[in-house]
Amino acid sequence: MAGDAGTAWVLRRVRPLGGEPVDVLLADGVVAAWRPAGSTGPDSDGLPPGTAFLDADGLILLPGLVDLHTHLREPGREDAETVESGTRAAALGGYTTVFAMANTNPVADTAGVVEQVWRLGLDAGHCDVRPVGAVTVGLAGQRLAELGAMATSAAGVRVFSDDGHCVSDALLMRRALEYVKAFDGVVAQHAEEPRLTVGAQMNEGVVAARLGLPGWPAVAEEAIIARDALLAGHVGSRLHVCHVSTAGSVEIIRWAKAKGWQVTAEVTPHHLLLTDDLVESYDPVFKVNPPLRTAEDVAALRAGLADGTIDCVATDHAPHALEDKETEWAAARPGMLGLQTALSVVMETMVIAGRLDWAGVAERMALAPARIGGLPSPAADAGSSIAVGAPATVTLLDPSPWRVVEADALASRSRNTPYAGRSLPGTIRATFLRGRPTVLDGKIV
Amino acid sequence: MKGHLLSTEDLSREDALLVLDTAERMARVAEASVRKLPTLRGRTVVNLFFEDSTRTRTSFEVAAKRLSADVINFSARGSSVSKGESLKDTAQTLEAMGADAVVCRHGASGASHRLATWVRGSVVNAGDGTHEHPTQALLDAFTMRRRLGRVDGLSVTIVGDVLHSRVARSNVWLLTTLGASVTVVAPPTLLPLGVSSWPVQVSYDLDAVLPKSDVVMMLRVQRERMSAAFFPTEREYSRRYGLDVDRAATLPEHALVMHPGPMVRGMEIASQVADSARSTIVEQVANGVSVRMAVLYLLLGGGSGEVA
């Protein structure tokens, strides 16, 4: 039976990392063999009984994608998303692991809540769910949550973030950075100096000046990144910067890396593609935090992702119920769906534009986030992530079709995609998690 | 002109002049013995005010009634819990009641734009947050034209809290579209960072600009801005940017002093200046009715500009 964990699969004429076609055998949860393209049939030697065949002619084989920044909304806002619906969207987008952000209700600031989310992920089975723990109790920025308890829980938390809120207190941030060293944790900072963004609604600049919306200045992000990089350097800790959105932030991170400090960063697909002039419609589907920026920022983010200053792409998938978006701009919640469109946006902005090859995409969307998030036994490089012996945790992309994104066709419980009506390249045809298909023929198994 | 009036930024010179010319004819109605036209008989105009503004609401109400429209005042002050829901719910209610035009005042920038996507009738933006207040700019331009005979070629100076002013934004776009040269004057903290992209000159020095101004438009400055560190004290603001008697004396003989109201006398404008012959402040209120009649007429009545 297709879908059984024990079934072996032959991916016929698949192109590993976009290279020359081969037949790839997935068996016993690992990549078992590479054979010459088209040489493997039902009568071939060495295939386990019941081996299934997938015609992968023209499809690109990538390691399963890893998202360091997903909002699954459960517990608390199951009307907007659940672990089940969110991970379904993830698998359909080529993801095999998502890191679930802590800003649920109740907040994931105890071992109990992170274990609940982790178990819901296991039950759903569409991809691995790694809960992120809150840095501070209730995301309130006042005192540290029990970071160690979350680390040693069944959920094995390694990434800690108050995402949605900045850990703005410099001393508290320093302590958090130091404390998580004991279990090789990392603090993922939502970089936003709160005093500079009181009432902020969109990027501060020429569009905001016209639209009469209070500005969210780039310096509010850059000042925190600079401070945190200095702190991380000072105490020798790992810092991860969430959703970098400005050209200045890229410069600061480049500087911090040149110093040899352990600073990593992510960029979202929407910040790689969309700009703040979209706000002219006042349609809150374009409201997000940090806000959409200018074309110059977009160019710097693409360049930073290409040269490795920005380590990875993370979706910041943020589902919101209709009533939280069908409002006037100021009343709407910030956030956008991202899991089912991320690879397409990266393909458009980075691959088609010649900034990254498919090995580069594998590095930025699977390997780097796995390393940053502390997943066990990360692959050394893109090649070894799909080589014989690697886990059969892969996704297959059909790069040829451009599709018009339809909000109603997405797996999320919410509809707040900024790409509705926009044409994007590429579509996921299949995803495998340790040899078991989670997506086949573009549909959830 | 058809559809909605949401901003002056996208108003063409042709449409702007059509409104002003139509307002001129409407003003004559106000001067006639029977101050009412049958044009909008049987049409419904809803005044949807989420913010209190007796002046603007009354002005629209008088305008609609002079055109014989049925007027409903819908004072829908949003609940603090979910303002968004109430805006959409209200839109659906108005839709069900068959409103032909909705005049909307709301505290959120873009609220009228959102409303226009939810109702079939025409939406007139009567002030949305810190974005625009197009009929105010139209009545200001109308006032300038009546007093000085033209807008084209005038030097207009707008002074005060430009950052938070919907009146300033609407005037910048409209007056430049009509050929005026606009200078905005404010402390740098009360100018938007993106003002450099506006078709205006920027100055921090009121004294340098006044002798070259045909019109000076003073904006209200809210005292609560002090607490957010936009300026140190009321007294310092008034000294540097207030239009006192001495400053007003440096204006050219023909220059006008305007204020969209409500004024803070003694803060941005001295009482003697507000009440002087060059002040148009009371006139602006009367002109507001004519301009709003013109807007409702053009959106709902005809497009030809012909008035009986």
Query: Average model confidence (pLDDT) for chain A?
Result: 97
What strand order describes the sheet that includes A186-189? A159-160, A186-189, A239-241, A263-267, A312-313
- Using the CB atoms, write b or e for A333-355: b if 16+ within 10 Å: bbbbbbbbbbbbbbbbbbbeeeb
Checking if the pLDDT of B80 tops 60, the result is no
Tell if the CB–CB gap between A328 and B193 is shorter than 8 Å: no
Q: Is A234 annotated as a binding residue?
A: no
The confidence score (pLDDT) of residue B85 equals 54
Nearest to B87 among A210, A211, A327 (CB): A327
Q: Find the catalytic residue in B4, B43, B66, B105.
A: B105
Q: How many Å lie between the alpha carbon of B183 and the closest alpha carbon of chain A?
A: 16
In this structure, the number of other CB atoms found within 10 A of the CB of residue B234 comes to 16
Are A326 and B84 a contacting pair at CB < 8 A? yes
Cβ neighbours of B130 in A, within 8 Å? 212-214
Q: A348-356, long-range: CB within 8 Å, 24+ apart, which pairs?
A: A348/A273, A348/A424, A348/A425, A349/A269, A349/A272, A349/A273, A349/A302, A350/A272, A350/A302, A350/A305, A350/A306, A352/A425, A353/A302, A355/A302, A355/A303, A355/A305, A355/A306, A356/A305, A356/A306
Which residue is it, tokens 């790409």?
A419
Please report which confidence band the pLDDT of residue B78 belongs to, taking 50, 70 and 90 as the band edges.
low
Q: How confident is the model at residue B303 (pLDDT cuts 50, 70, 90)?
A: very low
Query: In a mutagenesis test of the B interface, which of A196, A203, A210, A333 is the best target, namely the one with the most B β-carbons within 10 Å?
Result: A210
Q: What is the pLDDT of residues A363-390, one digit of tens each?
A: 999 999 999 999 998 899 999 999 999 9
Q: Give residue B307's pLDDT.
A: 41
- Does B37 score more than 80 pLDDT? yes
- What is the model's pLDDT at position A424? 98
The distance from CA A99 to its chain's CA centroid, rounded to whole angstroms, is 8
Q: pLDDT per residue over A212-228, tens digit each?
A: 999 999 999 999 999 99
Q: Taking residues A322-343, what's their average pLDDT? A: 96
Q: Phi and psi (nearest 5°) for B35? A: -95, 45
What is the pTM assigned to this prediction?
0.94
Catalytic residue among B8, B22, B39, B56: B56
A201 contacts in chain B (CB < 8 Å): 109
Catalytic: B133? yes
Contact call for residues B185 and B158 (beta carbons, < 8 A): yes
Domains defined for chain A, CATH in brackets: 9-61+387-444 (2.30.40.10), 63-385 (3.20.20.140)
The predicted-structure confidence for A266-301, as pLDDT tens digits, reads as follows 999 999 999 999 999 999 999 999 999 999 999 999
- The answer to whether A323 faces chain B, any CB pair under 8 Å, is yes
The reply to whether residue A212 touches residue B131, judged by beta carbons under 8 angstroms, is yes
Test B194 with A217 for CB contact under 8 angstroms: no
CB pairs under 8 A between A and B: 83
Q: Does the CB of A213 have a partner CB in chain B at under 8 Å? A: yes
Q: Which of B85, B109, B113 sits opposite A330 (nearest CB)?
A: B109
Q: Do B113 and A281 touch (CB under 8 A)?
A: yes
B50 has a chain A CB within 8 A of its CB: no
Per-residue pLDDT tens over the stretch B43-62: 999 999 998 888 999 999 99
Block residue for tokens 């956030």: A335
Beta-carbon separation of B114 and A205 below 8 A: no
Q: Which backbone phi and psi does B282 adopt, to 5 degrees?
A: -75, -40
User: Which positions 188-207 of A are in contact with B (Cβ < 8 Å)?
Assistant: 201, 204-207
Tens of pLDDT, residues A192-219 = 999 999 999 999 999 999 999 999 999 9
Of the candidate ranges A135-149, A249-263, A346-360, B20-34, the one whose mean pLDDT is the lowest: B20-34
How many angstroms away from the CA of B194 is the closest CA of chain A? Answer: 4
Query: What are the domain boundaries of chain B?
Result: 13-133+285-301, 134-283
Whether A333 contacts chain B with CB within 8 A: no
Confidence of residue B308 (pLDDT cuts 50, 70, 90): very low
Nearest CB to B193; choose among A212, A215, A323? A215
Contact across the interface for B108 and A329, Cβ inside 8 Å: yes
- A156 vs A46: CA distance, rounded Å: 38
Q: What is the ipTM of this complex?
A: 0.91
CB proximity list for B163: less than 8 A, separation 6 or greater: B130, B186, B189, B190, B191, B192, B230
Q: Looking at CA atoms only, how far is residue A323 from chain B in angstroms? A: 7
User: Using CA atoms, how far apart are residues B166 and B171, in angstroms rounded to an integer?
Assistant: 9
pLDDT confidence of residue B74: 84
- Using the Cβ of A329 and the Cβ atoms of chain B, whether some distance falls under 8 Å is answered with yes
pLDDT per position as a tens digit, B85-128: 578 888 888 888 889 999 999 999 999 999 999 999 999 999 99
What digits encode the pLDDT tens for the residues A144-168? 999 999 999 999 999 999 999 999 9
CA dist A186 to A69, A121, A183, A364, Å? 13, 22, 9, 18
Q: Which residues of B touch A205 (CB under 8 A)?
A: 193-194
Query: How far does the CA of residue A117 sit from the closest CA of chain B (Å)?
Result: 29
> B131 touching A, CB under 8 A?
yes
Judge whether A316 counts as a catalytic residue: yes
What is the 8-class DSSP label of residue B5? Answer: B
Judged by CB atoms closer than 8 Å, whether chains meet at B85 and A208 is answered as: no
Q: Do A209 and B166 touch (CB under 8 A)?
A: no
Closest alpha carbon within chain A to B169 = A210
Per-residue confidence (pLDDT) for residue B1, from 0 to 100: 64
| Candidate from B114, B192, B198 with C-beta closest to A282 | B114
Catalytic residue among A316, A324, A357, A408: A316
Helix (H, G, I), strand (E, B) or coil at B11: coil
Pairwise CB contact (< 8 Å): B83 & A209: no
> What pLDDT sits at residue A3?
46
B55 is a catalytic site residue: yes
Any idea which residue has 């969109």 for tokens?
A202
Q: Is A324's CB within 8 Å of B194's CB?
A: no
- For B200-233, the pLDDT digits (tens) are 999 999 999 999 999 999 999 887 777 788 999 9
Name the active-site residue from B131, B133, B259, B292: B133
Residue whose entry in the numeric block shows the structure tokens 């790992």: A238
Residue in B188, B184, B169 with CA at minimum distance from that of residue B229:
B188
Q: Which chain B positions have a beta carbon within 8 Å of A329's beta carbon?
A: 108-110, 114
The reply to whether B134-283 shares the fold of B13-133+285-301 is: yes
Judged by CB atoms closer than 8 Å, whether chains meet at B84 and A204 is answered as: no
pLDDT (0 to 100) of residue A5: 55
Q: What is the mean pLDDT of residues B263-269?
A: 92
Among all chains, which residue has been given the structure tokens 């009568």?
A43
| CATH, domain range B134-283 | 3.40.50.1370
Which amino acid belongs to residue B241? Y
A-proximal residues of B, 189-218, CB under 8 Å: 192-198
d(CA A74, CA A121): 10
- Picking from B85, B88, B110, the nearest residue to A211 by CB comes out as B110
The answer to whether A327 contacts B85, with C-beta atoms less than 8 Å apart, is yes
Annotated binding-site residue? B105 = yes
Q: Which residues of A touch B111 (CB under 8 A)?
A: 328
Neighbours of B279 (CB within 10 A): 19
CATH of the structural domain B13-133+285-301, one choice from 3.40.630.30, 3.40.50.1370, 3.40.109.10, 3.40.50.720: 3.40.50.1370
Residue A63 is labelled as binding a ligand: no
Per-residue pLDDT of A7-47, as tens digits, reads 999 999 999 999 999 999 999 999 999 999 999 999 999 89
